[in-house]
């Protein structure tokens, strides 16, 4: 995925995008203005391209980063806020209507008096269920029930497409249950991680106190020990990249033999699954460890863990003493964010996350610039076309594999803009309690997911809303999904950016990137129909693997913070996708009139504008704490290396910015790599 974890400029409301020729004199050009011309592009291209903007826009105390994502998100937030407020003000909205749901949800989040008064009561039912656990059997079925509320205690569970039969859904059980998310937080010995661990224990203790425990310190030690044991049995981030090793289809009987303390005939119904013959177990050794832990830890310890897990998951929607502790640990300690965002921003974001489907319907009607979908599609088609040309010319690939690669490319489904049909949320009841509303939406999401089990896969489904500034490739559907708001380019409100920018940001970093995911270290293992199925000859596969190893080696050398290097293995899929993206974006741009005419804009040649446009896509400045977190938990390399890494493999970049041997950005021929 393209995700990173993204001014209020002029509101974009219904701005009409028309094609127009850019006139140098009539507008300020962000590409020129964002640069830091005191930095040499051949030394640090990322900083040259974006450093001027960073100087003028320091990271606010309430944010972990600042840049293009936040700028665009601010615009989107203002639009969603307006949808929420308008809905909340309409007291005539019929009960159960989309407008009532959006309005009531937003209003409940803004009603801090009611939230304070409610305390933990919105969680009374699940807390009672946890209290009633008496043995391993009721422990496991309660864990199942807690999953139906959208929480993930002890393990992760989902109804996903079967990696080997992409037309069918499967029950997928995965490692999970860690409050800090990534196993490495429990073991790394660097100073920052040691501090985070100590702060985490304090945080657990605070939450235990605030929820009425008389033995909070002891609870915290127990919970930390239990999570550490789960972490011990968990695979590392890079080990989760192998789709074959993390696909272990077992009959329920086989799983039961491997984990005799867990009664799967009871667990599955508690998860809302009436009947199943097989499960896909991502990491069998994790479930063996869990099987041992449900016996080795007393039930009372598990109850403490489950309470913490539940309250922690919902902390942001509870009273301020709990919400503030949650903010302190997850935002301040882990990401370096000192100050909370204004309440409306948090509630807008939560309303959008809970009822994004309903908001999307309004968003597309009220705010999407006309012609967005068509323009996006046009760029996508052009990228796809140059991709085919490239595959036809690849010198390292045999005809047999080439044929298959072209077939897969030709079958990529492009979903662009917004879905043709919206998901039915009519059964969702939204009332006055914020936390209860969040739970209601989470339950709906869970039930929606579980209801797919046993049905044929619906390939028209979208997993992102149109107002999400992001995109994804789903290997099981061999599809890319590009939500509408990818058309937004800050600094070009109401007018069309020149093609260099469009092909840099949207062509390269969205379409080119997502299509390449179909051909990265993971995606390349799926065939044209979305099944895990090797379509490579042995020789081509070994040549491909040799090239990916060189990408891994390049990224392993990037020291993001003193002593903290980018994880080349864990980020290789994204880095392969970035490289493919920037190469294809340029190829498609070369076919445009702007490139052919060769005219300068703001003193910049078309090629220079293309690379600056690409760097604009990753104009992100990030706090050190958040950067350290990203390196440990994210399969995306930090923004700086997503620019400097790929472009250093391209002769066109060297030519555009006069990069010479001896320059910091210079990679000798022997180390450069282009895969697609």
Positions touching Zn ion (CB under 5 A) are: 1-2, 574, 577
Whether the Cβ atoms of residue 376 and residue 416 lie closer than 8 Å to each other:
yes
Residue 227 vs 521, nearer CB to Zn ion: 521
The count of other CB atoms within 10 Å of the CB of residue 613 is 29
3-state helix, strand and coil shares in percent for the chain, rounded to the nearest 5: 55, 10, 35
C-beta of 633: minimal distance to Zn ion in Å?
15
Whether the Cβ atoms of residue 65 and residue 621 lie closer than 8 Å to each other:
yes
C-beta of 504: minimal distance to Zn ion in Å?
16
CA distance 102 to 286: 40
C-beta of 509: minimal distance to Zn ion in Å?
9
Residue 34 vs 548, nearer CB to Zn ion: 548
Residue 575 vs 592, nearer CB to Zn ion: 575
C-beta of 513: minimal distance to Zn ion in Å?
6
C-beta of 55: minimal distance to Zn ion in Å?
29
DSSP reduced 3-state for 323: helix
Residue 2 vs 303, nearer CB to Zn ion: 2
Give Rg (Cα) of the chain: 25
Whether the Cβ atoms of residue 467 and residue 360 lie closer than 8 Å to each other:
yes
Report the Cα 506 to chain-centroid distance in Å.
Answer: 18
Element spanning 210, H or E = helix 191-210
Residue 2 vs 183, nearer CB to Zn ion: 2
The count of other CB atoms within 10 Å of the CB of residue 38 is 10
C-beta of 598: minimal distance to Zn ion in Å?
32
DSSP reduced 3-state for 213: coil
Residue 336 vs 568, nearer CB to Zn ion: 568
C-beta of 472: minimal distance to Zn ion in Å?
7
Mark out the alpha helices in 565-634 (DSSP H runs).
Answer: 572-590, 593-597, 606-616, 624-633
Residue 118 vs 577, nearer CB to Zn ion: 577
C-beta of 350: minimal distance to Zn ion in Å?
25
Residue 496 vs 577, nearer CB to Zn ion: 577
How wide is the angle at C-alpha 151 spanned by C-alphas 146 and 155, nearest 5°? 85
Whether the Cβ atoms of residue 376 and residue 507 lie closer than 8 Å to each other:
no
C-beta of 237: minimal distance to Zn ion in Å?
15
Q: For the purposes of burial, counting CB atoms within 10 Å of the CB of 262, is it exposed (0-12), middle (13-18) or buried (19 or more)?
A: buried
The count of other CB atoms within 10 Å of the CB of residue 27 is 12
Give me the torsion for CA of 486, 489, 492, 497, rounded to 10°: -80
Residue 253 dihedral angles phi and psi, to the nearest 5°: -65, -45
Whether the Cβ atoms of residue 156 and residue 232 lie closer than 8 Å to each other:
no
Residue 30 vs 638, nearer CB to Zn ion: 638
C-beta of 300: minimal distance to Zn ion in Å?
43
Residue 635 vs 656, nearer CB to Zn ion: 635
């Amino acid at each position: 995925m393209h995700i990173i974890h993204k001014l209020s400029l002029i509101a974009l409301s219904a701005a009409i995008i028309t094609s127009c020729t850019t006139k140098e004199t009539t507008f300020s050009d962000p590409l020129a203005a964002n640069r830091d011309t005191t930095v040499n592009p051949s030394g640090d291209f990322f900083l040259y391209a974006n450093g001027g903007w960073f100087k003028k826009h320091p990271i606010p105390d309430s944010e972990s980063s600042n840049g293009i994502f936040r700028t665009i998100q601010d615009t989107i937030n203002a639009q969603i806020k307006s949808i929420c407020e308008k809905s909340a003000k309409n007291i005539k909205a019929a009960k159960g209507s989309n407008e009532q749901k959006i309005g009531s949800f937003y209003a409940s989040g803004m009603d801090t008096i009611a939230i304070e008064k409610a305390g933990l009561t919105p969680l009374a039912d699940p807390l009672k269920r946890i209290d009633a656990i008496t043995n391993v059997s009721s422990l496991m079925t309660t864990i199942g029930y807690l999953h139906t509320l959208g929480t993930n205690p002890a393990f992760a569970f989902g109804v996903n497409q079967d990696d080997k039969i992409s037309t069918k859904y499967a029950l997928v059980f995965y490692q999970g249950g860690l409050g800090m998310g990534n196993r490495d937080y429990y073991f790394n010995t660097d100073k920052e991680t040691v501090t985070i661990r100590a702060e985490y224990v304090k945080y657990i203790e605070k939450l235990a106190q605030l929820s009425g425990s008389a033995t909070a310190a002891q609870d915290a030690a127990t919970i930390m020990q239990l999570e550490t044991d789960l972490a011990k049995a968990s695979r590392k981030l890079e080990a989760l990249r192998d789709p074959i090793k993390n696909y272990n289809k077992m009959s329920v009987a086989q799983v039961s033999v491997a984990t005799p303390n867990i009664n799967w005939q009871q667990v599955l119904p508690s998860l809302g699954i009436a009947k199943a013959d097989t499960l896909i177990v991502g990491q069998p050794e994790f479930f063996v460890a869990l099987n041992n832990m449900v016996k080795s830890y007393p039930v009372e310890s598990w109850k403490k863990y489950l309470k913490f897990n539940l309250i922690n998951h919902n902390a942001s929607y509870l009273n301020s003493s709990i919400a503030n502790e949650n903010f302190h640990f997850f935002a301040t300690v882990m990401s370096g964010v000192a100050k909370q965002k204004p309440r409306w921003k948090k509630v807008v974001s939560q309303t959008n996350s809970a009822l994004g489907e309903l908001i999307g319907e309004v968003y597309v009607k009220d705010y999407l610039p006309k012609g967005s979908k068509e323009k996006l599609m046009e760029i996508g088609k052009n990228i796809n076309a140059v991709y085919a040309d490239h595959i036809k010319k690849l010198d390292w690939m045999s005809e047999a594999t080439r044929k298959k690669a072209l077939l897969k490319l030709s079958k990529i489904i492009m979903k662009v803009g917004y879905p043709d049909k919206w998901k039915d949320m009519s059964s969702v009841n939204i009332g006055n309690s914020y936390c209860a509303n969040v739970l209601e939406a989470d339950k709906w999401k869970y039930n929606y997911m579980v209801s797919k089990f046993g049905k044929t896969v619906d390939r028209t489904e979208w997993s992102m809303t149109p107002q999400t500034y992001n995109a994804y490739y789903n290997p099981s559907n061999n599809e890319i999904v590009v939500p509408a708001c990818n058309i937004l380019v800050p600094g070009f409100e109401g007018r069309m950016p020149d093609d260099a920018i469009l092909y840099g940001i949207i062509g390269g970093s969205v379409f080119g990137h997502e299509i390449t995911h179909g051909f990265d270290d993971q995606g390349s293992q799926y065939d044209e129909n979305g099944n895990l199925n090797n379509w490579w000859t042995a020789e081509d596969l070994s040549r491909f693997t040799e090239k990916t190893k060189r990408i891994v080696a390049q990224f392993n050398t990037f020291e993001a913070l003193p002593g903290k290097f980018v994880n080349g293995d864990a980020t290789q899929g994204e880095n392969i996708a970035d490289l493919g993206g920037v190469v294809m974006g340029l190829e498609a741009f070369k076919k445009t009139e702007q490139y052919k005419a060769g005219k300068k804009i703001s003193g910049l040649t078309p090629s220079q504008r293309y690379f600056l446009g690409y760097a604009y896509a990753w104009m992100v400045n990030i706090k050190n704490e958040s950067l350290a977190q990203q390196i440990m938990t994210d399969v995306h390399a930090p923004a700086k290396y997503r620019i400097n890494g790929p472009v250093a493999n391209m002769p066109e970049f060297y030519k555009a910015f006069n990069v010479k041997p001896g320059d910091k950005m210079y990679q000798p021929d022997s180390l450069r790599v282009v895969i697609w």
